[in-house]
Amino acid sequence: MCGIAGIYRFGHGTTDLSLQEAVDFMTDTLGHRGPDSRGTWVDPAAGVAIGHRRLAIRDLSPTGHQPMVSSCGRFVIAYNGEVYSHLEIARDLAQYGRHPRGTSDTAVIVEACAEWGVERTVQRLIGMFAIALFDRERRELILIRDRLGIKPLYWGLFDGIFLFGSELKALRAAPGWRPRIDRNAMSAFMRHNYIPAPHSIYQGVSKLEPGCLLRIGPGGAVTHSRFWDLRTIVERGIASPSRARDEEQIEQLDELLGDAVRRRMVSDVPSEPCCPAGSTRRWSLP
């Protein structure tokens, strides 16, 4: 688990603190998410500051430090999560002469965005992720959330200042913003025992919905797009049901589950035993 946070100032959105100071306040609230290191990237001319708190899982060396800049210098990324398809993506990037620095999945993601574009890259990401990506060429900030919304990501636009963070406490720490309770969200919580996305407990703060991509340019215009939708997947399955026999479907499911588990067992840190002492496993993987 890592934590990301950031600010994009444009127009008349200013505070008495520098971007560096502001993003430091925000990332300090996320120390529990990333105890291994803290990093920031600031571009005062563009009005952007991106912060990261790291829990090192892949590439424990300094080459895995975030925020990370692509080798061409165009993209800056801060990322929370794990992408289990990064080895295949790295092999394909090598065919284009692009070699990520280090062995982290972060380096693979940012280089893939530089080579193929954001939309094409996101389609290849298998895993859980909340990504903040700044396109220095277009001065565009891009937020991306994984297909099922496993990793959290909040955002809000207030008087010329765009804020984002892994947790609401990061936004609350941003200088110049005073949170106000959204009474409609409170009513939803009392009714459902949770606040449905895209709403949050605060007025003007939204959860980025699962499978969504948000862009905000230097003029402050926010656009959303959806790169994956569960409803669409279900509708396709109903429209074109599988004709395979039960045995074939069981084999396909076993193969998919085995592949998913193997991908998630890759780590550069020691793993803890998954079974209590004295217990036995019910399955094994080659």
| Residue 263 CA neighbour count, 13 Å, CB half | 18
> Which 3 state secondary structure label does DSSP give 229?
coil
Active site residue 2: yes
Tell me the C-alpha distance between 83 and 89, whole Å: 10
Work out whether strand 37-43 and strand 205-207 pair parallel, antiparallel, or are unpaired: unpaired
Four-CA torsion 150, 151, 156, 161, nearest 10 degrees: -160
| Of 2, 72, 113, 275, catalytic | 2
- Residue 268 sits at the vertex; the CA angle it makes with 263 and 274, to the nearest 5 degrees, is 65
Note every long-range contact of 123-127, with CB atoms under 8 Å and residues 24 or more positions apart, other chains counting. 123/227, 124/85, 124/88, 124/89, 125/83, 125/85, 126/83, 126/84, 126/85, 126/263, 127/81, 127/82, 127/83, 127/84, 127/85
- Residue 93 sits at the vertex; the CA angle it makes with 91 and 96, to the nearest 5 degrees, is 120
- What's the sign of the alpha-carbon dihedral 205, 147, 135, 83? positive
Residues with active-site annotation: 2
